[in-house]
Structure 1
């Protein structure tokens, strides 16, 4: 029965987010794969918990609750019967401080200084191109760093970047997983990113024992919540 449960859980994870390019990495101890690319090292300049402003539809599995966490940390709390099952983190990173993404916009045909309607379908297509390049750089950098540093005890799988609506904007859903060679999931990360003309919004959650915030304690709870997170992202009040 336990083996059947693991097979079913594995099938759910693969169905919800097909695996893409694979890289090999070690089993982690205190060291973990960083979820955010270089741009995410910029300070999050939005004060207060932005989820209180942008959360429109708090969809959740039966018996679960979703709401902005108390306090100023940019966290969305997922709970059941008063117990926090996991959190979803959002970062807001101004374009003015992000030369890398400015270059990606230019490469996609949008000078960052231009006054454009970023909800125009033409520009949204170009923005998706820039976001895909941003995600691709993240995957490339991550793979090179870990391949150079570690051995072959964990298979790292990057998910194909998928265009998705995020509020009234177009964005990308992406992520990765670390699969133990001996079986089992070491970590799994699910992210959404979009751009409103002034800033990047990066939404992240994970199953990752090495993370402090933006994570679920149990892999099965993350698998259950993922389609609801997609629905939440679709209905965000963005741009706000």
Structure 2
């Protein structure tokens, strides 16, 4: 009954039809809270998350242990930082891990492209962050959207090299989203097979605290090692809860 109920809910919340391919896929949507719980924060040793662009040093330990707030989940599911120092959040159903969510922390001093996006948006690199100022938030949204556009271009080029024209990729329109107290953006991609069905789906959040970017990612992607769900239907069930988890993160640190 649990899975039937959530698949029915997912069918209502989740739908996308890129370029005429008919399939049921997640849209970005408000979270549904069924089982909120608090997670204590601890500090471990250092870890080094990666992205397709570069490897950068994260803050100490599994970052989720420091920033996780309430964790709304579907009934029977659990969410907790994974064991070890890798920056992974483990999502479990019936005591089995069904997916992970990865977070990367990237200092702006190491990211010249985002530095330029901030400057172009009217935010000097040494400016004081004002999280409550609507003008600052609008400028930051402009910079984050430019960063997402860069990412989308790089992602599409990479997938074109991988799949040629066999998989049709469509980007989700980026949407403003809270990441703790930070202004953030929700964005992602979906890849559709020629015969129908999903080859890949990526759901991400990005935010900036004045010094570092926080990039939260998960996916249905057979080629990914971490930050992924093995089954698309589990990602579809979890996706709305991810937005609520991101909104209650203890950021900025």
Cα 1:102–1:219 change in 2 (3 A) is same
**Could you tell me whether the CA contact under 8 Å between 2:131 and 2:181 is conserved in 1?**
no
Alignment counterpart, residue 104 of structure 2, candidates 75, 87, 91: 91
Q: How many angstroms does 1:114 deviate by?
A: 2.2
Residue 156 in structure 1 maps to residue 169 in structure 2? yes
For structure 2, list consecutive stretches of 5 or more residues without a partner in the other structure. Answer: 1-6, 17-24, 29-49
Measured in 2, the distance between the counterparts of 1:196 and 1:68 equals: 22
Residue 174 in structure 1 maps to residue 184 in structure 2? no
Residue 193 in structure 1 maps to residue 203 in structure 2? no
- Deviation track 1:185-212 (CA, whole Å, cap 9, x = no partner) reads 1110000000000100000000001000
Q: How many angstroms does 1:44 deviate by?
A: 3.1
Residue 125 in structure 1 maps to residue 138 in structure 2? yes
Cα 1:94–1:154 change in 2 (3 A) is same
What residue is the counterpart of 1:54 in the other structure? 67
**Could you tell me whether the CA contact under 8 Å between 2:203 and 2:218 is conserved in 1?**
yes
**Could you tell me whether the CA contact under 8 Å between 2:129 and 2:209 is conserved in 1?**
no
Runs of 4+ in structure 1 over 6 Å off: 6-11
Measured in 1, the distance between the counterparts of 2:215 and 2:74 equals: 23
Residue 233 in structure 1 maps to residue 246 in structure 2? yes
- Deviation track 1:20-58 (CA, whole Å, cap 9, x = no partner) reads xxxxxxxxxxxxxxx9463xx131331201111111011
Q: CA RMSD in A?
A: 2.2
Instruction: Figure out how many residues of one structure are paired with residues of the other and give that number.
Output: 217
Q: How many angstroms does 1:146 deviate by?
A: 3.8
Cα 1:235–1:77 change in 2 (3 A) is same
Cα 1:36–1:72 change in 2 (3 A) is closer
Secondary structure of the 1:161 match is: strand
Residue 209 in structure 1 maps to residue 219 in structure 2? no
For structure 1, list consecutive stretches of 5 or more residues without a partner in the other structure. Answer: 1-5, 19-34
Q: How many angstroms does 1:77 deviate by?
A: 0.5
